[in-house]
Amino acid sequence: MPFDLSAAQTHLSQDGKLADLIATTAQFVLDESVANSPYEALLEAIAYQSISGKAAATIYGRVRALSGADRAPSPVEMLKLRKTALRKAGLSGAKVLAMKDLAKKTIEGVVPTREQAEKMSDEELVERLVSVRGIGAWTVEMFLIFNLGRPDVLPIHDLGVKKGWSVAYGKKHMPTPKQLLAFGERWRPYRTVASWYMWRAFERAGYKLTNKIRPPSKKRRKLKSHKPKSRAPYTAKPRS
């Protein structure tokens, strides 16, 4: 773990709602086998955009096969691949252009190596990587969380995080991105871990409940962003 998970959980458990989630849902974990370069991670992310996971996995497998080895095509290989071959693999025209631009910007040095990325700030990485065609802030945030293990990333546009917040805090409406950003100040410097538990709250509630959560209120009420009062360390009850 790139950061102290115990310290993160202790800090977040000052919030009673989060304390309950931490004690009763799956523990935050990163897939340590995932150590892809930004190029590889974003190449796969492009393949997965806007389609089901199963379909995306099939298509990305075909793209990998175009390298002639059990790996993603290198940036040089990607630029040499014919657009017709990539379209035949199942990619849309927009995704082909995005992958080509990703390869070009990787060769130019705009997209950093993994070693370089690990030394860069979150803000620097977002600025660099969103310059790639078809790559938005959300995609970069997922890379920061699940590939680099950055501790303080809050994906304010993520539907699961917003609905999970509504479930966890008993709200009928989702927060606006601006409201969630303000509320999330209490979670610093472990907003990644807090986001993880918002996803768990969303999953645990199920679609029957979360589909009833309404869009952000038009009244634009401010969410309280002050830190909650300190409380005694939360002691998890043994599960039956």
- Express each pLDDT in 4-28 by its tens digit: 999 999 999 999 999 999 999 988 9
Please report the pLDDT score of residue 217 as a whole number: 79
Percent of the chain with pLDDT over 70: 89
Write out pLDDT tens, residues 151-178.
999 999 999 999 999 999 999 999 999 9
Whole-angstrom distance, CA of residue 117 vs CA of residue 86: 28
Q: Kindly tell me if the per-residue pLDDT of 238 is higher than 60.
A: no
Question: From the candidates 15, 101, 152, 158, which is the catalytic residue?
Answer: 158
pLDDT at 209 over 70: yes
Alpha carbons 85 and 130: distance in angstroms, whole number: 26
pTM of the model: 0.83
What whole-number distance in Å separates Cα of residue 129 and Cα of residue 126? 5
Strands (E), the chain: none
The three-point CA angle 197-173-189 to 5° equals 35
Q: Is the pLDDT of residue 230 over 60?
A: no
130-145: average pLDDT: 95
Residue 31 designated active-site: no
Alpha-carbon distance of 234 to 14, in angstroms, equals 8
pLDDT in tens, 75-84: 999 999 999 9
